[in-house]
Structure 1
């Protein structure tokens, strides 16, 4: 028969039938050829960085995934005993980056991934997002840059600071709203703001403010309001209408020979074009 009873009376495969038993000692079975998974066979080796006067020992994986610039650091010089980043005595040096900026990037990699919203939330200081934007812009870390921009979008900032950040880190969508705020507000630029902006932008903002308040179009608005409602110290609403202010700013800040760009839609603004990123000013 093909089966035999075991001690419990159950039937199972006989010695002559194929079953789930292990191969006999004399059988020859070739080893399975295993391929490394393209997504989850991780390079989990560590890298040692020197930032200012501090050493950081962190996983290379995040840096390779996020930035081709960081990835190239791991291959220079050629792998071997002398490769940078293997020992404390020969770290990968990151010049012109502060420890705060580097820690902001590491928080994005580690705490931002595994402890969601612990280090990046509504209570996160604006300066931390600026630090993250600075280092992510310099080393082309796209997801860190997106996180920094989103954080700054939701933070309390002032118009002068947004213009500085937009030009330093190439975020054109911040420019037009900042110029609109400066041109619509009642107070003119003060001395400190004029120094921060520089003479060219200061003059153009003054021109835009003057045009908004005293152009022929504005005088017509005032005449129509006075004719309908009598004299008033208040400006007519249409004088500071957002679309009108944006139009005037574009007409003054953009050279007449060039098409008017729609800032914030992937175009580069005429002011601060292509500035090399540097260290951001501390939050005032």
Structure 2
């Protein structure tokens, strides 16, 4: 996260967060910030460790001047300004920022181990309208409290339309399979043969119960999205879009009833989905 002392030539001071009383200097994207280390030491073990690093004989402590500023390479100057805004917000407990800004702050708070900032950010994001799948993936990435994920999965399992191919790819194989398992179990509650995820007599409490049973308390353990390199493979090859769409279509296709009393429907479901994709 930090690097060697930067050269001062060509650097600019941030127009807001180069504070006269600040006692620690950060360099982000050739922009100098001067802020108070108290906010960083108070909450983050990562920054406490950074600040306690040894100082070479004859050299000034790192971060004590513009010439020895801590260089942050894992964040942009804009996002760092958004992050420290949480500490210097002039409106005290009133925070007004866009969804994109809160998402950036959440990722930074998670990566830099700021639990209180993370909790604040989640409270603010809970009030924001965010696409359901986007929210699930974001909460997975930032390892939020699993209790916030259960109702999100319940919404996804009980909505009228199934997962799209794009949503399935973004959520990952494990999460996708669990969602379709939950949808199939909810359909099985129907006595009239209808395909609706929520047939007559099935309420939200049933949905929550099924989600908790299918995920087994591991709502944060399922994959929360793929990078391109993590697209599932079939016999050692990358899965193409046609294959992904085929699996998606097969997942949501109603299966004919058989006369056999299968004691392991989920096992058959997994075989049908083709978990040997890997």
Same fold by TM-score greater than 0.5: yes
| Long gaps (5+) in structure 2 | 1-20, 225-278
Change (3 A) 1:51 1:238: farther
Instruction: Give distance in 2, aligned partners of 1:168 and 1:175.
Output: 12
Q: Residues 160 and 197 of structure 2 are in contact (CA less than 8 Å); yes or no, is this contact kept in structure 1?
A: no
Counterparts of residues 53-64 of structure 1 (less than 5 Å):
53-64=30-41
Find the aligned partners of 1:210 and 1:204 in 2 and give their Cα distance: 10
SS of the aligned residue for 1:50 comes to strand
Tell me the equivalent position of 2:92.
116
SS in 1 for 2:66: coil
- In structure 1, the residue matched to 2:222 is 271
Task: Report whether the alignment pairs 1:187 with 2:161.
Answer: yes
Shift of 1:89: 2.9
1:104 aligns with 2:82: yes
CA distance in 1, matches of 2:142, 2:116: 15
Could you say which residue in structure 2 is the equivalent of 1:76?
A: 53
Q: Deviations for 1:147-203, whole angstroms, at most 9, x for unmatched residues?
A: 101101111112211211221111122211111111111111112111110122112
- TM-score (structure 1 length as normaliser): 0.63
Q: Using the TM superposition, name which of 96-105 and 160-169 deviates more.
A: 96-105
Query: Structure 1: which 5+ residue stretches go unaligned?
Result: 1-43, 224-230, 255-260, 274-284
C-alpha separation in 1, matches of 2:115 and 2:177: 35
Q: 1:87 maps to what in 2?
A: 65
1:4-57: per-residue Cα shift (whole Å, max 9, x none)? xxxxxxxxxxxxxxxxxxxxxxxxxxxxxxxxxxxxxxxx65111122332211
Cα RMSD for the two superposed structures: 2.8
Q: Does the CA-based 8 Å contact 1:48-1:92 persist in structure 2?
A: yes
SS of the residue corresponding to residue 96 of structure 1 reads coil
Determine whether 1:66 maps to 2:43: yes
Change (3 A) 1:59 1:186: same
- Counterpart position of 1:23: none
Relative to 1, partners in 2 of residues 1:81 and 1:169: Cα closer, same or farther, differing over 3 Å? same
Matches of 2:223 and 2:91 in 1, distance apart? 37
Distance in 1 of aligned mates of 2:139 and 2:148: 6
Aligned pair in 2 of structure 1 residues 72, 45: CA closer, same or farther (>3 Å)?
Answer: farther
Verify the 8 A CA contact 1:183 1:205 in the aligned structure 2: yes
Structure-1 residue corresponding to 2:258: none
Counterpart of 1:278? none
Post-superposition shift, 1:272? 4.3
C-alpha distance 272-194 of structure 1, shift in aligned 2 (>3 A): closer
Query: Comparing 178-187 with 50-59, which one deviates more in the overlay?
Result: 50-59
Residue number in structure 2 paired with 1:173:
147
The aligned length equals 202
CA contact (8 A) 1:67 1:140 kept: yes
Does the C-alpha gap of structure 1 residues 128 and 235 become closer, same or farther in structure 2, counting only changes over 3 Å? closer
What SS does the corresponding residue of 1:212 show, helix, strand or coil?
helix
Aligned residue among 192, 206, 214 for 1:252: 214
Contact 1:162-1:175 at 8 Å conserved across structures: no
Mapped partners of 1:54, 1:250: distance in 2: 47
SS at match of 2:68: coil
d(CA) in 1 for partners of 2:184, 2:112: 41
Change (3 A) 1:164 1:69: same
